[in-house]
Structure 1
């Protein structure tokens, strides 16, 4: 860590010592005070706008922060002067090779190859920037392919060896489809794939088990050879199944608890661990057992007029056919199939009526309802709640006085009544229908580890229902399954390869530049600004660190796991057991869980946590020039930070409107001149995203300049001037896919000519030159 981070105390892990309580404030230097006084300033005491209304920080911390902020801007100013002196006379040259030191590492050679295959935005006319990222039928579509080609997966063998010259707990990631090449998630998966598929031996048994699990998943030939036999053997261990003619009439609640504990299957309700957003701030780290309605296998729909769910009538026939196929694959006699599938659909339809969409339940106040296990037992007596929950969270000890959170109490009550009715039906083996319902849910859980007949049947049913899904490559499917149980190992593997000091420097400098950017905004009122500064100051950024850094501890954690190199079904059962232990540990330790495949930061109780998965090739490598790192991953870090706080910024300041209108006016002028689009008005969401991404690029550039002020040395790729390399790297990730992409009204690469309109910033002017507009500043 640099001395800057120590003085600023933004990256300390001991928050109780490094940070004041929320009511404490600090005083900024005069250069960083509000640029515009609050409208009601006459009602406020005459004092520094950043001074606390209750008390100030101690003078030592004030002096450190003041000196640090002053040093930041003085250093940036000096750096600008150096750039002016060093490069001012050469602004017409694109390749100032005489003034840059080439990076010759293997990673930089790959970076140079990617640059050579991507389009240089400096040489493109304005119509190159005219379409939003990913628009169909637009000029961007073709060049998006060029960018995608340049961002294809890295050679892990090349990246692992030293250069010759020198990251909550619901398994929603299972539904991922093939991402576009620019997706950060896709790049991380490619990187981890390279790690798992290398032949490098490891002295860690946990790492070897992880690789063996991954490779057994890739071995589809063994899966096809085994067929349905492993599942049938498991059913016999569970007491048999009436569908096959052999059933030991096991107790309903016993079977349910066994499925929950050993096989991660929850037929009648969902179960997971999570926080309660309604808790007081002092208690928002506590986690609860949360009980929700199940993910029913039968397709259902919501009738908004009747305010009720129901099974989709048009889907019943293909669903019936698929279930009959499953039973046929399991060797069920034809005479039994229709009867058992019919009762399965009947029970599923009854449960479906009791479900409701989350929007409806939120409106009715049915989410996060606190209740004790004893009260839950009285409300829904058909389920042995204490027994089932103890099974699911073994070896934790639970009592009837423990509280859980419900997300649909009316469903839970109705579900209990439905089960009781089925148990009391006048059939000799009526409870066998409940067994069939549970075992078909178990089949659905284990289907990823079974032969292709099952997955193809499920795919055909999905197509019959009109669902079109992209095919997920087998390697990606296996990697996602591996992460489910071996996330700790994957995180460890990432931590071994990440350059912690350099990544922390990027995070630190970007976050510091973000703070200085916030100081420049014109806030409408003092109080929300003061509250926001408190929140940012109490949210220091840090790179997520694995709690297990020692290989011995990692091996001990997985010591009871036995992985077969050619038996994926049994390995998959081990994975489900790991998932159960992970769920129990999450409840017991009450700590934030890591998601090794995360690629965006999260705002947690003690700050902003950045996952290691953000810092992988080709977005980042420790040997890259700093200009390249800050232009790519630095911009993404800045954009993610802005997204964490944007709602509070957007609702209380005026600057973003002016900046967004400035950029948009330049864009409209350029697009009208090229005959591409007509003038249009931006929505609020588009205004917000336009300002956010433009500001993120400014912050990343400022952070890069600050890094140079601390250490002026930097290398280059392809002989490019530092600033140009920064923008070229940015252009490769500017169309980054995130949940806010739909609100971006233009290609972010258009920011390059807008920012280069400042004559002394870029070493060469882009071909798309921004002209000053009437009643509009040339620069934004």
Structure 2
């Protein structure tokens, strides 16, 4: 036993001597190219001489090694094997952890994310199940490219299942339609506890849908209104009311402007945004008869191909009002209406021509206007339409086609003086037929069918309905589904109410956070671009840094009590949409009058794209709706869909000329396009994309990057997120984005490939995605480097 202890002590001493002898070996290896003597001189000062092993000690150490028991040697080998095994197990785990950490995500979070069980999330789950997951169907989800009309066209060399294509076509809606659908759900919901204003809006909508009551009422409501206005020549019962008196009533009570348009707005030439002053604006009207601009003659004329169907539709209207088409009064009235419309059309001009001639925003006082266009009682008519507070002759107005106004006054004077027996009979009929056109939405189906048939005829002859730069009020009304028409009409009168209901979706702050994060990521993206010069970079950076976002307007955030007070004078009938519609027209004109002297701003809730006014980025509330957004959605879904759309709009608004400012746009656009052609087996020689398409490809590619970066920033602040359909974090982000497809907006015709392919372009950098995307059907593997 004593020998074993002594042997162990000797062994321990030998190991100590061995460690001491190995101390200088590191430096000796590094200096192996030096002279041995010089190396020894450099090493010796580092250790005291007393620590250097003697030759006798080294001999004893070697002897101890030779006499070391075998079980000690085995134990050393065993520990070496255990250490190697641990390294083999732990090292890959560390690499895996670091890999996922660098991705910006949290692997444990992706596994343990709790499901979202709200009703909105349940509907979203069904929505997601209707299309392919890009990570489980990498060969299917991007194989359709965007066509010039926004529809999907099959990419060359691939065939998607018909059922999946049908589902996609039913699912793909533009943002405006999604908004109208959502407003429809609000108006059709049953909420007995809603405020008075909300109840009135819903009642108005329901009476609009009640076409049976409209058909039962027939033409009688309009005939009663004509009688109230003094009758007319067609019926043989006319009190020969004064021309200007009738015109004033139509402008005040029925928002109808037969001979000219009158509205209130800011001076279009004042772009500073510092003044809030508004002016009465006088513009050319929306004539009912289709006309066209003849640039060679610099004048407008009635489109001859539409003259006969237009006469037929006018005769049909009169027949519905009790005047047979073959009666003398009907023929005279229709002939006079067409003749007067043709005379007025000659003096009209498109916006581009008027702008080139300097005919826009010409300032005149009402007194000056009266002297050059005396047939109209301008002070009386404008006072009737904009009655609070009273106007004076010194009030300035803006004219946007002064030559037309002068010619219109001359035409009206000739028609009054040229008909001795009935001085203003044709003018009166002209005004009443314009009133009929205004009230078409509130009349029975026979009137709307007449308008629709005329629209069809115009389409057959290749002529768009309307005049030059504007469209008649009924365009789009007769062709759209009834529910959509009723939503639009309800929004005209109850926009403040609907804005309040939309605001409920953004009350929690999720919308503000999304906008702020998208704008922040947009600004950081500017630094990654290669700019042509430093001056351009500084200009763009100043522009981007100065932008401040704002969701909606101040007026849109009215309380329920304020809305109830605003609509307190509105009495909605439960069985007469015609009377409700007359109240709507009166309400609209009162609002126009209020605009002249108050800072009241109408709620533009039908807008679905941001706009820039000065440094303020106005983000409409109408974009924060399902299926694009919901406060209970996982943030991955909100950022993947609406975050991308918002980033895309932001790039369009703030960087309209980016192609000429940065070489990155061309390089990235062409790179993505090359990858697309490679993946879709369409690598034949073809010219590069046009400039506009390269910019759009870069823009949407960058928008997706911005949205992803914004979502990752959100995760860093709040690591927890919920799940839908078992997906979470990055994967749900991309799956949600793949639902966007050919989003119908102003620029969809510039996108040569379906946006969902951008998932493949982003996932070329595999660390950004849950898995790499490879389609076995493609002839080439997708490039592993990103654009």
TM-score, structure 1 as length reference: 0.80
Larger mean CA deviation between 478-487 and 126-135 belongs to: 126-135
Please identify the structure whose Cα radius of gyration is greater. 2
Query: Structure 1 residues 346 and 471 mapped into 2: Cα distance closer, same or farther (>3 Å)?
Result: closer
Shift of residue 718 of structure 1? 1.8
What pairs with 1:35-114 in structure 2 (closer than 5 Å)? 84-85=99-100, 98-114=111-127
Shift of residue 257 of structure 1? 1.2
Question: Which residue does 2:130 correspond to in 1?
Answer: 117
Shift of residue 144 of structure 1? 11
Cα distance between partner residues in 2 of 1:320 and 1:202: 51
Question: Which residue does 1:767 correspond to in 2?
Answer: 774
Larger mean CA deviation between 188-197 and 650-659 belongs to: 650-659
Query: Structure 1 residues 539 and 767 mapped into 2: Cα distance closer, same or farther (>3 Å)?
Result: same
Describe the SS at the equivalent of 2:596. helix
Query: Structure 1 residues 640 and 82 mapped into 2: Cα distance closer, same or farther (>3 Å)?
Result: farther
Shift of residue 680 of structure 1? 2.8
Describe the SS at the equivalent of 2:146. coil
Question: Which residue does 2:661 correspond to in 1?
Answer: 652
Question: Which residue does 1:30 correspond to in 2?
Answer: none
Question: Which residue does 1:713 correspond to in 2?
Answer: 720
Q: Which of the numbers 446, 449, 452 marks the counterpart of 2:445?
A: 452
Describe the SS at the equivalent of 1:121. coil
What pairs with 1:544-555 in structure 2 (closer than 5 Å)? 544-547=552-555, 548-555=557-564
Question: Are residues 1:226 and 2:217 paired?
Answer: yes
Question: Which residue does 2:550 correspond to in 1?
Answer: 542
Q: Which of the numbers 285, 291, 308 marks the counterpart of 1:294?
A: 285
Question: Are residues 1:599 and 2:608 paired?
Answer: yes
Unaligned runs of 5+ in 1: 1-79, 153-179
Query: Structure 1 residues 658 and 719 mapped into 2: Cα distance closer, same or farther (>3 Å)?
Result: same
Q: Which of the numbers 377, 382, 388 marks the counterpart of 1:389?
A: 382
What pairs with 1:605-624 in structure 2 (closer than 5 Å)? 605=614, 607-624=616-633
Unaligned runs of 5+ in 2: 1-94, 463-475
Describe the SS at the equivalent of 1:331. coil
Shift of residue 449 of structure 1? 0.3
Describe the SS at the equivalent of 1:209. helix
Cα distance between partner residues in 2 of 1:121 and 1:372: 64
Query: Structure 1 residues 325 and 573 mapped into 2: Cα distance closer, same or farther (>3 Å)?
Result: same
What pairs with 1:351-370 in structure 2 (closer than 5 Å)? 351-370=344-363
Question: Are residues 1:577 and 2:577 paired?
Answer: no
What pairs with 1:116-135 in structure 2 (closer than 5 Å)? 116-122=129-135, 123-125=137-139, 128-129=142-143, 131-132=145-146, 134-135=150-151
Question: Are residues 1:379 and 2:372 paired?
Answer: yes
Native 8 Å contact 1:508 1:541 kept in 2: yes
What pairs with 1:290-369 in structure 2 (closer than 5 Å)? 290-332=281-323, 334-369=327-362
Shift of residue 277 of structure 1? 3.6
Question: Which residue does 2:519 correspond to in 1?
Answer: 511
Query: Structure 1 residues 231 and 82 mapped into 2: Cα distance closer, same or farther (>3 Å)?
Result: farther
Question: Which residue does 1:214 correspond to in 2?
Answer: 205
Query: Structure 1 residues 231 and 495 mapped into 2: Cα distance closer, same or farther (>3 Å)?
Result: same
Query: Structure 1 residues 282 and 726 mapped into 2: Cα distance closer, same or farther (>3 Å)?
Result: closer
Native 8 Å contact 1:293 1:411 kept in 2: yes
Native 8 Å contact 1:274 1:288 kept in 2: yes
Native 8 Å contact 1:285 1:605 kept in 2: no
**Can you list the C-alpha shifts for 1:503-545, whole angstroms capped at 9, x where unaligned?**
1110110011111112322333344433333333332012225
Q: Which of the numbers 434, 458, 461 marks the counterpart of 1:465?
A: 458
Native 8 Å contact 1:517 1:699 kept in 2: yes
Query: Structure 1 residues 260 and 426 mapped into 2: Cα distance closer, same or farther (>3 Å)?
Result: closer
Shift of residue 99 of structure 1? 4.3
Describe the SS at the equivalent of 1:700. helix
Cα distance between partner residues in 1 of 2:98 and 2:124: 24
Describe the SS at the equivalent of 2:571. coil
Question: Are residues 1:265 and 2:256 paired?
Answer: yes
Native 8 Å contact 1:210 1:489 kept in 2: yes
Shift of residue 716 of structure 1? 1.6
What pairs with 1:128-277 in structure 2 (closer than 5 Å)? 128-129=142-143, 131-132=145-146, 134-135=150-151, 137-138=153-154, 146=164, 149=167, 181-277=172-268
**Can you list the C-alpha shifts for 1:626-678, whole angstroms capped at 9, x where unaligned?**
1111001111111111111122544433322222222122223334xx24865
Query: Structure 1 residues 554 and 88 mapped into 2: Cα distance closer, same or farther (>3 Å)?
Result: closer
Q: Which of the numbers 637, 641, 647 marks the counterpart of 1:638?
A: 647
Larger mean CA deviation between 138-147 and 304-313 belongs to: 138-147
Matched residues, number: 669
Question: Which residue does 1:484 correspond to in 2?
Answer: 492
Describe the SS at the equivalent of 1:559. coil
Cα distance between partner residues in 2 of 1:346 and 1:765: 70
Cα distance between partner residues in 2 of 1:544 and 1:143: 42
Cα distance between partner residues in 2 of 1:377 and 1:518: 55
Shift of residue 597 of structure 1? 1.8
RMSD (Å), alpha carbons: 3.0
Shift of residue 453 of structure 1? 1.0
Native 8 Å contact 1:267 1:437 kept in 2: yes
Cα distance between partner residues in 2 of 1:618 and 1:592: 28
Describe the SS at the equivalent of 2:650. helix
Shift of residue 288 of structure 1? 2.6
Shift of residue 728 of structure 1? 1.0
Cα distance between partner residues in 2 of 1:400 and 1:724: 67
Query: Structure 1 residues 596 and 202 mapped into 2: Cα distance closer, same or farther (>3 Å)?
Result: farther
Query: Structure 1 residues 654 and 588 mapped into 2: Cα distance closer, same or farther (>3 Å)?
Result: farther
Query: Structure 1 residues 274 and 151 mapped into 2: Cα distance closer, same or farther (>3 Å)?
Result: farther
Question: Which residue does 1:172 correspond to in 2?
Answer: none
Larger mean CA deviation between 749-758 and 120-129 belongs to: 120-129
**Can you list the C-alpha shifts for 1:697-716, whole angstroms capped at 9, x where unaligned?**
11000000000010111122
Native 8 Å contact 2:104 2:712 kept in 1: no
Describe the SS at the equivalent of 2:439. helix
Describe the SS at the equivalent of 2:387. coil
Shift of residue 577 of structure 1? 1.1
**Can you list the C-alpha shifts for 1:34-54, whole angstroms capped at 9, x where unaligned?**
xxxxxxxxxxxxxxxxxxxxx
Describe the SS at the equivalent of 2:265. strand
Shift of residue 684 of structure 1? 2.1
Cα distance between partner residues in 2 of 1:499 and 1:141: 45
Question: Which residue does 1:435 correspond to in 2?
Answer: 428
TM-score, structure 2 as length reference: 0.80
Native 8 Å contact 1:119 1:147 kept in 2: no
Cα distance between partner residues in 2 of 1:127 and 1:612: 30
**Can you list the C-alpha shifts for 1:216-250, whole angstroms capped at 9, x where unaligned?**
10111111111111111111111221211111121
Cα distance between partner residues in 2 of 1:677 and 1:371: 63
Query: Structure 1 residues 520 and 277 mapped into 2: Cα distance closer, same or farther (>3 Å)?
Result: farther
Larger mean CA deviation between 224-233 and 761-770 belongs to: 761-770
Q: Which of the numbers 765, 772, 784 marks the counterpart of 1:758?
A: 765
Question: Are residues 1:681 and 2:688 paired?
Answer: yes
Question: Which residue does 1:741 correspond to in 2?
Answer: 748
Native 8 Å contact 1:666 1:773 kept in 2: no
Native 8 Å contact 1:268 1:294 kept in 2: yes
Q: Which of the numbers 484, 501, 523 marks the counterpart of 1:493?
A: 501
Describe the SS at the equivalent of 1:288. strand
Shift of residue 546 of structure 1? 4.8
Higher RCO, 1 vs 2 (CA within 8 Å, ≥6 residues apart): 1
Cα distance between partner residues in 2 of 1:386 and 1:88: 69
Native 8 Å contact 1:449 1:572 kept in 2: yes
Question: Which residue does 2:17 correspond to in 1?
Answer: none
Describe the SS at the equivalent of 1:454. helix
Cα distance between partner residues in 2 of 1:145 and 1:440: 49
Query: Structure 1 residues 432 and 81 mapped into 2: Cα distance closer, same or farther (>3 Å)?
Result: farther
Native 8 Å contact 1:753 1:768 kept in 2: no
